Amino acid sequence: MTTGTSRTTTGTGRTAAGTPEPTRADGADQAEDAGQAGCADAAERADQAARADRVRGCLLGGALGDALGWPVEFQRLERILDRHGPEGVRSLAFAPGGLAEVTDDTQMTLFTAEGLLQAGEATSAAVLPAVHAAYRRWLRTQCEAVPQPDATGLLAEAWLYASRAPGNACLSGLEAHVTPPAALPVALGRRGPVNPDSKGCGTVMRSAPFGLLGLGPDRAFRLAADCAQLTHGHPTGALAAGAFAALVDRLVGGAEPRAAVVATIAQTAGLPGAEETVADLERAVRIADEGVPDFDAVERVGLGWIAEECLAIGVHGLLAAAETGPRRALTLSVTHSGDSDSTGSVCGNLLGAAYGAAALPQDWLDQIEGTETLLRIADLLVATSSRP
Ligand SMILES: [Mg+2]
């Protein structure tokens, strides 16, 4: 993909033939310049390595939150605490195969990434059909039992052919249209033609990859919002997805979490139809500012079935992590009466984007399915991105 944000790398120090012999002072200056160039190269490599770790962390963290929340997705808080104890969900549930399962949140996130990688360029005209085609491939994994013999890419990965409570609007919106409706994308704040009243969290939980290409917050926002309309027509579904992608972009770019949240709220507030999304983001910040977070605080942020609440719970967890660390923040993001796997997934995306894969609980990462694929796709996104 051409992202159009190439940054010039540090010069290679080539010497032109026939250059006069330098004086001692010139030589000292050149040595100093060369030393500074070497330092700049080393600093840039360190920046790139840190960014790559955050991209990996974003995808791995999302899968972790998804796997942690999936077993309690439809349980009330009291029942979760009865079963898991007063500290909430602190362990993964294992499938017969021995690993903890991820769900449609992680599956669709991977297909979003595959669509972006195949789009060729980061424009809505290129991305909308490519991501739609990728989501239609995901739809096949929900309808077919195993890969076809000639399957390629993610469609060839048998572990993705699992149907674990996928969202109705995602399924129906993709079933209804073989290609993106001609009316898409509609302007922000306007109602789209696909499931026009839906603003389920399916638009948010799959949209982290829009923020992983180094496009900058405005372009990440716009592409995520446009692609949200492929399945959900309510304006808030698009705006919450856009805000999520813009926040991921800022975090992966190295912004401090609270500053990134504040900037994303300001960005979103300037857009038409953003009232619901901004109100929920501001509530998440306010409740995070109250002090040591608990499960009741999370439920006051929301339950996560709808897009803006799902994003808000993720943001609350991101801000809480400054006090609690990522492990406790993940527990908080899933231990509630709402859509635990999606809120866990979004929170995990944000935590990984902010703090990197190295900061995520390694014992949990060792126990979830799909990590090889997640890492491979993360590294392809890093290679495609041109912003360190
Ligand atoms: Mg799910």
CB contact set of 181 (below 8 Å; sequence gap of 6+): 193, 194
The answer to whether 341 is annotated as binding is yes
| 21 Cα to the center of ligand 1, angstroms | 68
CA distance 252 to 212: 7
Report the SS3 class of residue 119.
Answer: coil
From 6, 167, 252, 269, select the one nearest 242 (Cα to Cα).
269
Q: What are phi and psi of 9, to 5 degrees?
A: -85, 165
C-alpha angle 251-276-168 in degrees, rounded to nearest 5: 85
Strand partners, 161: none
CA of 303 to the centre of ligand 1 (A): 14
366 assigned to a ligand binding site = no
For residue 79, the CA-to-ligand 1 centroid distance in Å is 19
Distance 344 CA to ligand 1 centre (A): 10
**19 C-alpha to center of ligand 1: Å?**
65
Beta bridge partners of 2: 121
3-state helix, strand, coil in the chain (%, to 5): 65, 0, 35
Distance from Cα 253 to the centre of ligand 1, integer Å: 27
Q: Which bin fits 195, alpha (ψ -120 to 50), beta or left (φ > 0)?
A: left
**Going residue by residue through the chain (388 aa), what tens digit of pLDDT does each one get?**
655 443 333 332 323 333 333 444 555 666 667 677 778 888 888 999 999 999 999 999 999 999 999 999 999 999 999 999 999 999 999 877 789 999 999 999 999 999 999 999 999 999 999 999 999 999 999 999 999 999 999 999 999 999 999 999 999 999 999 999 999 999 999 999 999 999 999 999 999 999 999 999 999 999 999 999 999 999 999 999 999 999 999 999 999 999 999 999 999 999 999 999 999 999 999 999 998 899 999 999 999 999 999 999 999 999 999 999 999 999 999 999 999 999 999 999 999 999 999 999 999 999 999 999 999 999 999 999 854 4
The domain limits of the chain are 43-90+98-180+200-386
Q: Would you state the structure tokens that stand for residue 258, as one six-digit string?
A: 């609270």
Beta partners for 100? 368
Task: State how far the Cα of 231 lies from the Cα of 341, in Å rounded to an integer.
Answer: 19
User: 103 labelled as ligand-binding?
Assistant: yes
CATH class of residue range 43-90+98-180+200-386: mainly alpha
